[in-house]
Structure 1
């Protein structure tokens, strides 16, 4: 989605925000189906339920049922890798933390509960292997989903880059900028941090969801896809002249060219994602 198609967070209305938020389940389900899952692996939709429902109900400071351990961290990291950019070495780094690392998590969360100092708590969590400010913010977010924004790429693109997919270094300074913008939006529209995160995901991921979708989207989501399909059909009909065989060959050649282009772009994206910590 081009930045010109993304509404500025400073100008989005409460009604628009609610509309985008309502589209999140369909967008994430479409992406989940397009990605699929290996045998024994949870789908993105299943991991999404854990991140936004089960984990929040278990670890929320409003009524915490138990303290987070390393297995919980790995589940959230798995969600993060499938929900956003995949980083092949991140899970192995996180898994290399000893069981005693749970004490670091407990200390950081208790510190935050007493101080509400998210920045310092995230620095404490970042002492763990494979845990940078982004993953640390995720761990803190499930404990206080109303006030702590997860440092996702999509949230940073929308709130700090005007919808442009610019380079992110995943530094504490960048996270502070994200929190500042998120807090202003949350206060202006009276919305939660977790809802800001979901709206950002919809705005930055919606075209990808439409492209790979096997499920029904909302009316606003289906309209662009329907129009594009109609235009493509019309264009195809116009191309059909005397010899249908020649037209079929051109279409197949175009499909092969497009597939090669997609594969090249995917490989380039993978090379750009070699950062181990975020």
Structure 2
């Protein structure tokens, strides 16, 4: 069981969440290629997802009245899939369901400060009509690319978020356009710039479909394995002790050396502005309609 996080406590608990052999595999500099992974290796990495997700959930915590990442993850991979499965839906998806899925996306991956408010601004009637059209289109055509394009017409819904909505309707075949899945399936396991456009999603979907057929696994399980390979490896690297610092000889006492060096600093407001601009750039790349709406307001 993990405790409230400080960086040191978190890393120690990450280590205890996995076996020694697993940590050794994660520490490898190379990510296992998706076109070489065996069914046994896939299953082994998939089994590590719950512990990794719980560790990250505990590290992020949750505000009063806010769902934890673990609770959101259960909704995304269990409740939503059982409720909205195209073959046997219990009810139709509504705006509140989309907002919960978007909250999961923001907590599970990169945080976009304005995404949830944009999604919330969609009229419920428009959401219902768009979802209904997309469901019928996908059922009749099995065209994931076209369905994602249709869903991306909603405010705040770019190809990545649209693919998430599609994924809970067809968990077996439709993959969510996550950073980790794209890095693993399309970038050789290396982090690279993502434009979040429909062509990138199509490329990701093609690679995912090939893996689904080769290993007889689901698209959502591919997401989880990619998350373990990309996130788990990074955490394992963070957990490595800095042996250079630990073994370095202590420096001789020098009053002058102990005085902090003056350096140019950036105010908190400037730091926030810089971070916000970067996040807004990523959001507009994922959803071009946001860029257009800004122009209209000028």
TM > 0.5 fold call: yes
Structure 1 residues 25 and 267: alpha-carbon distance in aligned structure 2, compared to 1, 3 A threshold:
farther
Aligned twin of 1:54: 79
The two structures, once aligned, show a CA RMSD in angstroms of 2.9
Aligned twin of 1:276: 283
Q: Which has the higher contact order (CA 8 A, sep 6+)?
A: 1
- Residue 140 of structure 2 aligns to a residue whose secondary structure is helix
- How far apart, in 1, do the equivalents of 2:234 and 2:134 lie? 36
Structure 2 spans left out of the alignment, 5+ residues? 1-25, 261-270, 287-298
Q: 1:28 aligns with which of 27, 41, 53?
A: 53
- How far apart, in 1, do the equivalents of 2:218 and 2:274 lie? 35
- How far apart, in 2, do the equivalents of 1:125 and 1:48 lie? 22
- Residue 100 of structure 2 aligns to a residue whose secondary structure is helix
1:62-84 deviations in whole A, cap 9, x for unaligned? 21000001111000000000000
1:146-193 deviations in whole A, cap 9, x for unaligned? 000100111001100011111111111111100111111111111110
**Distance apart, 1:39 and its partner CA:** 1.3
Q: Map 1:124-135; keep pairs closer than 5 Å.
A: 124-135=150-161
Aligned twin of 2:190: 164
TM norm structure 1: 0.80
- Residue 211 of structure 2 aligns to a residue whose secondary structure is helix
- How far apart, in 2, do the equivalents of 1:18 and 1:160 lie? 21
Aligned twin of 2:163: 137
**Distance apart, 1:110 and its partner CA:** 2.0
- Residue 169 of structure 2 aligns to a residue whose secondary structure is coil
- How far apart, in 2, do the equivalents of 1:148 and 1:70 lie? 20
Q: Check the 8 A contact 1:3/1:163 in 2, yes or no.
A: no
Aligned twin of 2:116: 91
Q: Map 1:222-233; keep pairs closer than 5 Å.
A: 225=239, 228-229=240-241, 232=243
Q: 1:147 aligns with which of 165, 173, 176?
A: 173
**Distance apart, 1:41 and its partner CA:** 0.9
Q: Check the 8 A contact 2:84/2:168 in 1, yes or no.
A: yes
Q: Check the 8 A contact 1:31/1:209 in 2, yes or no.
A: no
Structure 1 residues 163 and 3: alpha-carbon distance in aligned structure 2, compared to 1, 3 A threshold:
farther
- How far apart, in 2, do the equivalents of 1:15 and 1:271 lie? 43
- How far apart, in 2, do the equivalents of 1:266 and 1:7 lie? 36
TM norm structure 2: 0.75
Q: Map 1:55-70; keep pairs closer than 5 Å.
A: 55-70=80-95
Q: How many residues align?
A: 247
- How far apart, in 1, do the equivalents of 2:166 and 2:115 lie? 18
